[in-house]
Amino acid sequence: MSLVSIVSFERFNAKSIFWDIQRHDICRSRALTSPDTEYASLNEFYRVAWDQLGRGVADAKHPARTPTLATISANGFPTQRTVVLRAADRLASQVEIHTDSLTPKVEELRENNKAALHVWVRKSMLQLRLGVCFDVLTGLEVADRWNAVPPTSRISYGTQPVPGKAITGPFDYEKPAEGALCRTERPCSADRSFVPWNQTSTRAL
Residue 160 lies in a domain: no
| Coil, helix or strand at residue 159 | coil
C-alpha to C-alpha distance for 156 and 167, rounded to whole angstroms: 17
60-71: string of b/e by CB count within 10 Å (b at 16+)? eebbbbbbebbb
Per residue in 123-145, pLDDT tens?
888 889 998 888 888 878 888 88
Residue 193 domain flag? no
Does residue 72 sit within a domain? yes
The tens digit of pLDDT for each residue in 90-100 reads 888 889 998 87
Q: Is residue 70 part of a domain?
A: yes
Domain count, the chain: 1
**Can you say how many angstroms the Cα of residue 143 is from the centroid of all Cα atoms in its chain?**
18
Looking at the domain assignment, is residue 156 inside a domain?
no
35: domain CATH number is 2.30.110.10
Average pLDDT of 50-63? 96
Task: Examine residue 161 and say whether the peptide bond preceding it is cis (omega within 30 degrees of 0).
Answer: yes
d(CA 9, CA 53): 16
| Residue 203 pLDDT greater than 90, yes or no | no
Residue among 174, 180, 182 at smallest CA distance from 146? 182
* Residue 71, in any domain of the structure: yes
Residue 55 domain-assigned (yes or no): yes
Residue 127 lies in a domain: yes
Question: What is the pTM (predicted TM-score) of this model?
Answer: 0.68
Q: How far is CA 77 from CA 70, 80, 100, 105, 191, in A?
A: 10, 10, 22, 13, 26
Confidence of residue 39 (pLDDT cuts 50, 70, 90): low
pLDDT for 177 beyond 60: no
Q: List the domain range (segments joined by +) for residue 101.
A: 3-143
pLDDT of 100: 79
